[in-house]
Chain A
Amino acid sequence: MGRRRFLGLGAVLTGSLAVGGKQAIADAAQESPPADAPWSQSIGAGVVDRPYGRPADTEASVIRRNVPWLTASAESSVSFSPLQDLHGIITPNGLFFERHHAGRPDIDPAQHKLMIHGLVERPLLLTMKDIMRFPSVSRIHFIECPANGGMNWRAAQMNSLQFSHGMVSCAEWTGVKLSTLLEETGIRNQAKWAMVEGADGAHMNRSLPLDKCLDDCLVVYAQNGEALRPEQGYPLRLVVPGWEGNVNIKWLRRIKLGEKPWHTREETSKYTDLMPDGTSRGFTWLIDAKSVVTFPCPEKPLDGPGLYEIRGLAWTGNGKIKRVDVTMDGGVNWQSARLHEPVLSKALTKFTLPWRWDGRPALVASRVIDETGYVQPTIAQLRAQRGSNSVYHNNSIQTWQVKPDGSVFNVQLA
C-alpha cells in the first residue's frame, strides 16, 4: 500500500511538470530516464537461485546455430558459434562450435578409459583418475574446423558472420601433455605415427605424426576451468594446437603408435583438398593465418554515420599474430589495427581500429600477417591456386559491404 501511494505521488509530481507543455514532457521522458528502474526498487533473486548459472534471458538469441540444408542429419553435422555477439578471445563453453560425426555420446567417466599401445614399451590402460594424477598444464588454443568458410569457396553465400566464420572457437584447455603420457609408455624406435580414436559411434580416428604429438599436443579433461562439455569430448579429448579441428579427437579412448599413417576414411574420403587438376592434397593439417572483422558484420549493422570501433579476431596455426591490417575501401588502402593482449600462440587474437564512418558505401576487410611472415590471401588468390572444389582451408580475406543505410553484406571482390 505504502509503495503504491509513493508511486502515485511520483505520477502527480511528474504531472505537475506538464505546465511546460506536452512536448516538453515527452522530451524530458526521453532525456532523463527514471532514476530507478523497477529492478532498482525491488529485491532480486537469492544466491543459488540458479545453482549453475546461465546467461540473462534477454541473451536468448546468442546460441549455436546450424544450417539445416547443409547436412543429411544433425548427428553428423556442425553448429556455428555466434561470433557476432562474443567479445573476447575465449569462447564460452556453451557456445563453442560443434562438429560431430555420429552424434554426441553421453559418457560415464567412471567407465571411460584411455588405451595407449602399439609401438610402445609398456602399453597402458588409464582411467580418468589416473590421467588426472599426471602433471597438469593449461593452455589457451583455438580450434577451427577446416570447412569453416567452405560455403563461401565458390561465391559469397552466407550472409552472416556466424555462418561464414563460426566454426572457430577458443578455450583454455587443461590436461596432461601427450608427450608425458608417451614417455610413461615408452616409445619404440620404429614409431613415427600415432592413430588417435574416439569413443563415439563413429570411432572417429585420424593419423598424426609422432613429432607433432611430442611437440605440443594435450590430452585434456577441462575447458575454461570446468570439465569438458559433452559436446567437446567429455570426459577426455585431444587438443592438437593449430591443426584442423577434426584431428582434435573428442571422447578420446585410444592412441596407437605405428610406423606409417593409417589413411582412415576421415583422411582420404574426407578432409582432403580436391584441386582443379583432379589431384587431391592429403594430410593438410595446418590452419593457415586467418582473420575476420566481427563488427560491423551482417548481424551487426551500423547505426548511422559517426565514430565506430572496428573489431575483429585473428588466428594462425603457425604461432602468433604479428599484425592485422584493415581496409575500408576494398583493399586500396590499409591501416594497421591495434592488437590486444594477450597475443598467444595458436589462440584467437583480438584487434580493433577506430573508424569514423561518413555514411558512404564502404568495403571493410581485415588481413592478418603471422609471425612466419605469411599474409592472409584473397579468395581470388586462393582460387587461382586451388580452384573452388577444395571445400576445406578457405582462410581468405572476408569483405563486408557497408551500404549507406548501415546494412552489411557478405561480398567477394573480383
Chain B
Amino acid sequence: MYSSRKICLPIIAILLACAASLAGAAEPGSFGYGSVATPAQIAGWDIDVRGEDGTGLPSGKGTVDRGAEVYAEQCAACHGTFGEGEGRFPKLVGGVGSLRDERPEPTVGSYWPFAPTLWDYINRAMPMQAPHTLSADDVYALTAYILNLNDLVPHEFVADRNSLPKVKMRNRDNFIWTDPRPDTMTKPCMNDCVNAADVRISSTAEGRNLTPRTTGPLDTMQQK
C-alpha cells in the first residue's frame, strides 16, 4: 500500500512545473515545440528586402535592355508596352507632378519612395500568374527597365545590390512616417447644433448607376 502523501507530492511538483512553464514561458524554448530553423532553411525563406537601404538584396545584376526583353514577355500584357497600364491594371510610368492634382497618378516614377522596394515586389509578387518564379538577374533587369522608363536612371544603368539603394526616387522625402491622427476635433453637440435651414445635401448616390445590385445573383456590371 502506498500512502496518498507519497503519490501526491510528486504529482503536485509536476503540476507546479507545468504551470510555471505555461504561465511564465520567459525562457526561449520553454515549450520546446517545433524545430529550430536551420541556416539552410532560413536562407530559402528569407526573401525580404528593406526598401530604405536595400538590405537583403541578393547578388546578381540586370541591364535596361535585358529588362525590356523580360518585360515584353512577362509584364506588358497587363502593364502596357511602356508601363502605361492596360485596363485597370496599374500604370508603372507617368504622373510626375500630379500628386496635388484632382486626379493624381501615383506610379513608380511619381510616388514610390524607395527603389529596392520595386525589386522586392517584383520578386515576391510578379508576374501575377506565376509569382516568385523569375531569376534574381531578371528581377534586377526588370527593375532597371522600369526605373529607366521613368527617367530615374540612364539607359546604361545596371541594377544590382549596390546601385539600387542609391537611386534617388522623386517622392522619397514626401512621406510622413508617424501618424498625425487624430486630426479632427469635434465636440459632440446634442441640440440645435446647426441651423436647420443650413442643412443641405451636397451630393447623392441616387441615379449615379455605379452601384451593383444587392439582390439576386452577382452583378456583372461593366467597368465604368
Pick from B26, B29, B37, B190: contact of A333, CB below 8 A.
Answer: B190
Q: Within 8 Å CB of B125, what residues of A?
A: 101-102, 201-204, 265
Q: Which residue of A lies closest to B35 (CB)?
A: A125
What is the bound-complex CA distance between A276 and B192, given in angstroms?
32
A69 at the interface (CB under 8 A from B): yes
Given that A195-B48, A331-B193 are contacting pairs, would A265 and B186 also be in contact in the complex, using a CB cutoff of 8 Å? no
Pick from B36, B48, B87, B202: contact of A125, CB below 8 A.
Answer: B36
Say yes or no: B191 contacts A333, CB within 8 Å: yes
Pick from A122, A133, A378: contact of B29, CB below 8 A.
Answer: A122
Query: Across the A-B interface, how many residue pairs have beta carbons closer than 8 Å?
Result: 290
Given that A156-B204, A332-B194, A374-B182 are contacting pairs, would A269 and B117 also be in contact in the complex, using a CB cutoff of 8 Å? yes
What is the bound-complex CA distance between A223 and B36, given in angstroms?
29
What is the bound-complex CA distance between A203 and B125, given in angstroms?
6
What is the bound-complex CA distance between A83 and B102, given in angstroms?
32
Q: Within 8 Å CB of A190, what residues of B?
A: none
Given that A184-B31, A201-B125 are contacting pairs, would A385 and B184 also be in contact in the complex, using a CB cutoff of 8 Å? yes
Given A101-B125, A115-B42, A274-B99, list of 20 further CB < 8 A pairs?
Answer: A61-B215, A69-B210, A102-B131, A115-B37, A117-B46, A123-B42, A125-B35, A152-B205, A156-B205, A160-B205, A183-B25, A184-B25, A186-B27, A263-B52, A269-B117, A285-B179, A323-B188, A330-B194, A363-B199, A393-B181
Q: Which residue of A lies closest to B171 (CB)?
A: A280
Distance in angstroms from A274 CB to nearest chain B CB is 6
Q: Within 8 Å CB of B30, what residues of A?
A: 183-184
A409 at the interface (CB under 8 A from B): yes
Chain A interface size, under 10 / 10 to 19 / 20 to 34 / 35 or more = 35 or more
Q: Which residue of B lies closest to A263 (CB)?
A: B51
A87 at the interface (CB under 8 A from B): no
State which of B67-75, B105-113, B134-142 sits at the interface with chain A.
B105-113
Say yes or no: A283 contacts B184, CB within 8 Å: no
Count residues of B near A (Cβ-Cβ below 8 Å): 93
Question: What are 18 A-B residue pairs whose CB atoms fall within 8 Å in the complex?
Answer: A69-B210, A102-B131, A117-B46, A125-B36, A157-B208, A158-B210, A159-B208, A201-B131, A202-B124, A254-B45, A283-B178, A299-B215, A332-B196, A334-B190, A377-B186, A409-B204, A413-B200, A414-B201
Say yes or no: A157 contacts B205, CB within 8 Å: yes
Distance in angstroms from A214 CB to nearest chain B CB is 13
Say yes or no: B33 contacts A133, CB within 8 Å: yes
Distance in angstroms from B171 CB to nearest chain A CB is 8
Which B residues from 67 to 123 make CB contacts under 8 A with A? 78, 87-90, 99-100, 102, 104, 106, 108, 111-114, 117-118, 120-121
Distance in angstroms from A100 CB to nearest chain B CB is 12
Q: Which residue of A lies closest to B99 (CB)?
A: A278
A142 at the interface (CB under 8 A from B): no
What is the bound-complex CA distance between A332 and B191, given in angstroms?
6
Given that A66-B218, A286-B179 are contacting pairs, would A115 and B41 also be in contact in the complex, using a CB cutoff of 8 Å? yes
Pick from A69, A116, A156, A203: contact of B124, CB below 8 A.
Answer: A203
Dominant SS among interface residues on chain A: loop
Given that A277-B100, A411-B205 are contacting pairs, would A123 and B106 also be in contact in the complex, using a CB cutoff of 8 Å? no
Which A residues from 52 to 70 make CB contacts under 8 A with B? 61, 63, 65-70
Dominant SS among interface residues on chain B: loop
Pick from B36, B196, B224: contact of A69, CB below 8 A.
Answer: B224
A308 at the interface (CB under 8 A from B): no
Say yes or no: B186 contacts A375, CB within 8 Å: yes
B177 at the interface (CB under 8 A from A): yes
- Most chain B beta carbons < 10 A, residue from A61, A124, A130, A386: A124
B156 at the interface (CB under 8 A from A): no
